[in-house]
Structure 1
Amino acid sequence: MQLSVRRFQGEDGERFSILVDDSGMPLYYPALYVTAEMRGASLSINTINSALSAVKAMYAWQAYYSLDLESRFKRSELIHAHEIHSLRDFMQRPLANMAPVAETVVPIKGRSKRVAKDNQYNRMSVIASYVGFLAGRLYPVTATSAKEISALVAQIKANRPRIGDKTDSDRSDIHLDDSILDAVESILQPGSESNPVADIGLQYRNGLMFTILRLTGMRRGELLNLKIEDFDFGSNTLKVVRRADSAGDPRTYQPLAKTRERTFPLIQELMDRIQEYIYNYRNKVPGARKHGYLFVVHRPGKTVGWPISNSSFGKFVEMLSGLADEFSGLHAHALRHHWNYVFSKSCEGKAWSSEKEQKLRSYLMGWSETSGTANTYNKRHVKEAAGKAAIGLQKKHLGKTSDDR
């Protein structure tokens, strides 16, 4: 049985995600789990979709080892320790490699690929929760059943990979230089001979998307969620708004703003460019006036005038990263890291306390002041400053040694 996660949109704009079999029928208990445990907790559609992918992986594990947890729980049987170990090992595989092995020989190399540890951790966490939910409804109630189910859930969680602090080769070290970003913006400049697209409207749109990401550090979901009404052209500000389950958004995979709502000041030059794109190009695209989303599909087709999808934006970034070898590390989140690095540099010499700097950064990025995320994005600058301090101490020491000779 081939399972798939299907997303659809209700008449009121609400997004749904369900696990269906190869005939398109929803699986009963995963659907009940999503309704009772996840939607009831007001979790986002992306979180639900990710959880269903983990449940799908669990069903693939059952099929691989010819297990049926629903039948087993009804017979008052739980999962054995060795089976949990096999579940742990199975969750290290990519979804594409979870089908039962065919008669043909599969190369060892092809079967050695593993998903990242954080992905394994999330899968096992969801499966532990789902198994507890399923056993709680199917396992016969006895004086000890609740403790037995709780112990099973704890045992599954205990088999999650350990995720400690990342080493020095973490994401903060993968950064973009201003010279690279300047080169990209030069290529994207409307009218540039190096511009990878010919349509002038697309040139304005693409250049504007890149510039906004670079100058605000917002996430791609926030960028694709922007509406014209979010811009106050009188006060030169941009408001980042959360719009989950927007009825006016035709995209089934709706981009979402994960962070807090906030108001971001913009310079006059950027506001002028936004207005120019809206009035001279965007509003002339068929269907674009049916909604207020800023960035739309320009190419003719059934989705012309629609807001840009996540996949289309991904193709745009992929195109940019392929223009030159030095652009290979280019992606939306790298621009977010770069914005935070530039912000840290701009705070130097301002005599601000670390608390004030963290408070300002957290607001502009949409983070809670107590989340600690600001420190994560400040890592590269801290490492750089620490390195300079260390070099300064070494030079000072060697200077003393030279004087003593």
Structure 2
Amino acid sequence: MGLSLRRIKSTDGERFIVLVDEDGMPLFYPALYVTVHLRGRSLAVNTIQSALNALKALYAWRNYYSIDVEQRFSRGELLLSHEIHSLRDFMQRPLAGEDGGNVVSISRRVETVSKGNQYARMSVIADYLGFLADQNLPSSTSSRDVVGRMVSQIKSNRPKTSNKSNVSREDKYLDDSVLDRLEITLRPGADNNPVREYAVQVRNALMFSILRITGLRRGELLNLKVEDIDFGTNTMKVVRRPDSKGDARAYQPVAKTRERVIPLIPELADQIYSYVLSHRNKVPGAKKHGYLFVTHKSGSSQGLPLSNAGFGKFVGQLKHILEGYSGIHAHSLRHHWNYSFSKTCEIQGVTPEREEKIRSYLMGWSETSGTAATYNRRRIREQANKAVLELQSKHFSNAKNGATE
């Protein structure tokens, strides 16, 4: 049974994502689960997509071992221990087409998914099978305790994961020399610019500048509208627009963080104004919506808001400029902004407490989330290293002076 994910946009702009079979028909219980358990919690479409990818893996396991869980539950039979163990092992396998493609067959490669991926799959599957058991167990045998034990056993088979990433956030910044090189190459008219059309060169250079200077997320950048830029006060609003009617993109980019207003230097505001007036407004269809960045290439998508795929192509060009350098992506620019912000606060003598509050606002985080504190670590570590080296230098200097006396 080949399964795939399908995104749907309703007439009122609301986005849905469903798990469908090879005939394009939604699977009943996954659709019910999404409606009752996921959409009811106001989860983002991308979060629901990740959950449905986990269910794709579950149904691949179901087919591989010929275990009809719905039928089993309807007979009052829950999963046995050895079946849960096989489920655990199966969730280590990479699933072809997990990005929402049309293939659901299990890859025969020996590679396994990360522990974090397996953990996330098992978490969703445990919740879903608990839901499915509640829906199908006969009323005479329905028991929260019995279902709860099965769910707990599935969760207990999740891999142990570390809270610490192999590369911590504070280490994910880029050297200014790397970003300067990209900026020079992306300048409109540059001989080695990877794009030929001048208007697209202007657009790409502007996107890079905004990401570097403001630290916006990719979704926030693609969600920007012309009306969000106040050219009188040189400010930019980051606005949440979930399920926007005017956005034709099925994969709608959204702002994940809080709304906020970011000040812009006049030079950046002038660049935005010039792009809108001289290039964007001349693209057929661009004036039908307010989104700042549009597709310039001729075709059915001309004038439409720039898609995630279009932005991905832009990021691919950045990697090509740096000869396959894998560390460049939208979020690495956000990490770099945070590192640069820490350095600026240090120079200006801003207290750590004040720095966290300012950073939380500019990044759109809650002050109580603790996210801002993670970006202070590199600066603290550098200060600690500097202090230790000074102490060591002082020790050897004193020892040397003592030896010569």
Establish whether TM, by shorter chain, passes 0.5: yes
Following superposition, the deviation at residue 82 of structure 1 comes to: 1.6
Q: Identify the residue that residue 337 of structure 2 maps to in structure 1.
A: 339
Q: Does 1:119 align with 2:125?
A: no
Alignment of 1:118-157 (within 5 A): 118-142=116-140, 145-157=143-155
Give the whole-Å Cα distance in 1 for the aligned partners of 2:180 and 2:347: 25
1:234-288 Cα distance to aligned partner (Å, 9 max, x none): 1111000011100000000001111111110000110000000000000000110
Q: Does 1:298 align with 2:304?
A: no
Contact 2:76–2:141 under 8 Å retained in 1: no
Give the whole-Å Cα distance in 2 for the aligned partners of 1:43 and 1:184: 36
Give the whole-Å Cα distance in 2 for the aligned partners of 1:24 and 1:34: 17
Following superposition, the deviation at residue 368 of structure 1 comes to: 0.9
Alignment of 1:24-43 (within 5 A): 24-43=24-43
1:285-319 Cα distance to aligned partner (Å, 9 max, x none): 01100000000000001000011111111111111
Contact 1:64–1:99 under 8 Å retained in 2: no
**Aligned-partner SS, 1:96:** coil
Q: Identify the residue that residue 231 of structure 2 maps to in structure 1.
A: 233
Alignment of 1:244-393 (within 5 A): 244-325=242-323, 327-393=325-391
Q: Identify the residue that residue 392 of structure 2 maps to in structure 1.
A: 394
The answer for unaligned runs of 5 or more in structure 2 is 98-103
Following superposition, the deviation at residue 400 of structure 1 comes to: 2.0
Q: Identify the residue that residue 220 of structure 1 maps to in structure 2.
A: 218
1:71-97 Cα distance to aligned partner (Å, 9 max, x none): 110111111112112111111111119
Q: Identify the residue that residue 100 of structure 2 maps to in structure 1.
A: none
Give the whole-Å Cα distance in 2 for the aligned partners of 1:312 and 1:378: 33
Identity %: 58
- Range that drifts further, 324-333 or 238-247: 324-333
Contact 2:170–2:339 under 8 Å retained in 1: no
Q: Does 1:11 align with 2:21?
A: no
Q: Identify the residue that residue 53 of structure 1 maps to in structure 2.
A: 53
1:100-153 Cα distance to aligned partner (Å, 9 max, x none): 68xxxx5xxx22x12222221211111111011100111123477110111111
**Aligned-partner SS, 2:262:** strand
Structure 2 counterpart of 1:318, one-letter code: G
Q: Identify the residue that residue 84 of structure 2 maps to in structure 1.
A: 84
**Aligned-partner SS, 1:246:** coil
Give the whole-Å Cα distance in 1 for the aligned partners of 2:293 and 2:142: 57
The answer for unaligned runs of 5 or more in structure 1 is none
**Aligned-partner SS, 1:148:** helix
Following superposition, the deviation at residue 352 of structure 1 comes to: 2.8
Structure 1 counterpart of 2:351, one-letter code: S
Q: 2:160 aligns with which of 154, 159, 162?
A: 162
Structure 1 counterpart of 2:51, one-letter code: A
Q: Does 1:203 align with 2:196?
A: no
Give the whole-Å Cα distance in 2 for the aligned partners of 1:228 and 1:100: 45
Alignment of 1:92-103 (within 5 A): 92-96=92-96, 99=105
What's the TM-score once normalised by structure 2's chain length?
0.94
**Aligned-partner SS, 2:309:** helix
What's the TM-score once normalised by structure 1's chain length?
0.94
Following superposition, the deviation at residue 168 of structure 1 comes to: 6.1
Following superposition, the deviation at residue 156 of structure 1 comes to: 1.2
Structure 2 counterpart of 1:43, one-letter code: L
**Aligned-partner SS, 1:325:** coil
Give the whole-Å Cα distance in 2 for the aligned partners of 1:326 and 1:2: 34
Contact 1:321–1:327 under 8 Å retained in 2: yes
Contact 1:62–1:68 under 8 Å retained in 2: yes
Following superposition, the deviation at residue 169 of structure 1 comes to: 3.7
Contact 2:134–2:142 under 8 Å retained in 1: no
Give the whole-Å Cα distance in 2 for the aligned partners of 1:258 and 1:42: 12
Give the whole-Å Cα distance in 1 for the aligned partners of 2:260 and 2:15: 24
**Aligned-partner SS, 1:308:** coil
Following superposition, the deviation at residue 326 of structure 1 comes to: 7.5
Structure 2 counterpart of 1:52, one-letter code: L
Give the whole-Å Cα distance in 1 for the aligned partners of 2:244 and 2:305: 12
Residues 168, 92 of structure 1: CA spacing in aligned structure 2 closer, same or farther, 3 A cutoff? closer
Following superposition, the deviation at residue 171 of structure 1 comes to: 4.5
Contact 2:79–2:150 under 8 Å retained in 1: yes
**Aligned-partner SS, 2:123:** helix
1:301-360 Cα distance to aligned partner (Å, 9 max, x none): 100001111111111111111123384421111101000000000011433322111010
Following superposition, the deviation at residue 377 of structure 1 comes to: 2.8
Structure 2 counterpart of 1:253, one-letter code: Y
Contact 2:247–2:305 under 8 Å retained in 1: yes
**Aligned-partner SS, 2:8:** strand
1:16-49 Cα distance to aligned partner (Å, 9 max, x none): 0111110111111001111111111111111111
Contact 1:63–1:100 under 8 Å retained in 2: no
Q: Identify the residue that residue 22 of structure 1 maps to in structure 2.
A: 22
Q: Identify the residue that residue 72 of structure 2 maps to in structure 1.
A: 72
Residues 343, 125 of structure 1: CA spacing in aligned structure 2 closer, same or farther, 3 A cutoff? same
Structure 2 counterpart of 1:5, one-letter code: L
Give the whole-Å Cα distance in 1 for the aligned partners of 2:311 and 2:171: 25
Give the whole-Å Cα distance in 2 for the aligned partners of 1:332 and 1:224: 11
Q: Identify the residue that residue 101 of structure 2 maps to in structure 1.
A: none
Q: Identify the residue that residue 185 of structure 2 maps to in structure 1.
A: 187
1:341-390 Cα distance to aligned partner (Å, 9 max, x none): 00000011433322111010011001111111112233333332222222
